[in-house]
Chains A and B, each alone.
Chain A
Amino acid sequence: MERIPILRMGDLLLVTIQVDMHDRLAMTLQDDLTQRIVSDSAKGVLIDISALDLVDSFIGRMISNTAAMARVLDAQTVVVGMQPAVAITLVELGLTLHGVKTALNVEKGMALLGKNHF
């Protein structure tokens, strides 16, 4: 079964979403991330969506849920690289991604995670 790869960098998990995800794939990613946070004792999750030209309510919910579950497991989530067209569409759609921190790029995302670590 196809999966989106999750990389580990110290106590951070890094996910780069580069494909047009169908709903099942998104759910699998959510499950995988939650499992890896526990198995790798991760303190932070960085989700890079700079390659996504579409974020609909399902993917939005997947991201919110992942962040919520991570928080329960004492890990921070940051979503980076949202494209302007996607951001504008999400605002129009009414999707707020409540409880999810965002940053413009991976570098800033890591800085954000580093700050809130301790």
Chain B
Amino acid sequence: MSAAHNTAVPFETGLLDKRRALRTARLSLPLRTDEDVVYLRKHVREHAVAIALSLVDQTKLVTAASELARNTIKYGGGGEVHLDDMLDGFKKGICLIFVDDGPGIPDLDLALRDGYTTGGGLGLGLSGSKRLCDEFEIDTRPGEGTAVCIIKWKR
């Protein structure tokens, strides 16, 4: 077992603090193994239930989280995810920020196209997650890393 897990990923991204004013709590989790993905799904589901998202919205959020978590591990070489509870006036939401210090995405437009994949997958992770959530933002620098932020609000 290695020394105490250091969750700080060196990729400096502004996305981590973008909506800071609306954040009421942050849970940071490592993303390195298959089990980490399952663990994340559980947490996202719990938080989604806690803000009373409809069953369909819960499912969409957890599915998007699963896709992006897998991307972080498979293409980013592992990283971390931050699960933020959001409050905008009376509107509750959940924000997930996936960060890795992998190779980054060279052609973002191409990557966001349905079906495009470099890893033998279905190529739906990025584009699909975008469709499943209310807000989607990506910050990637080739050679430095990638950060993806998704937000789902309680309707």
Contacts and interface: CB of A to CB of B under 8 A. Distances in A.
Do A and B contact each other directly (Cβ–Cβ < 8 Å)? Answer: yes
Interface of A: 20-25, 53-58, 60-61, 84-86, 88-89, 92-95
B34 A23 contact: yes
20 contacts: A20-B38, A23-B37, A23-B70, A24-B34, A53-B45, A53-B62, A54-B41, A56-B67, A56-B70, A57-B121, A58-B121, A88-B59, A89-B60, A92-B128, A93-B63, A93-B131, A93-B132, A94-B127, A94-B128, A94-B131
B60 to A, nearest CB: 5
Which 4 pairs of residues, A with B, have the shortest CB-CB distance? A22-B34, A93-B128, A85-B59, A56-B66
A61 B41 contact: no
Interface in B33-66: 34-35, 37-38, 41-42, 45, 55-56, 58-60, 62-63, 66
Contacts of B41: 20, 54
Contact of A85 (B38, B55, B128): B55
B124 interface: yes
Interface residues of B, number: 26
A89 B38 CA distance: 18
Nearest to A24: B34
Contacts of A20: 38, 41-42
Interface of B: 34-35, 37-38, 41-42, 45, 55-56, 58-60, 62-63, 66-67, 70, 114, 121-122, 124-125, 127-128, 131-132
Contacts of B63: 54-56, 89, 93
B31 to A, nearest CB: 12
Contacts of A60: 122
B124 A95 contact: yes
Contacts of A93: 63, 67, 124, 128, 131-132
Nearest to B125: A57
Nearest to B123: A57
A89 B122 contact: no
B13 to A, nearest CB: 24
Contacts of A54: 41, 59, 62-63, 66
Given A22-B34, A23-B37, A95-B122, A57 B59 contact: no
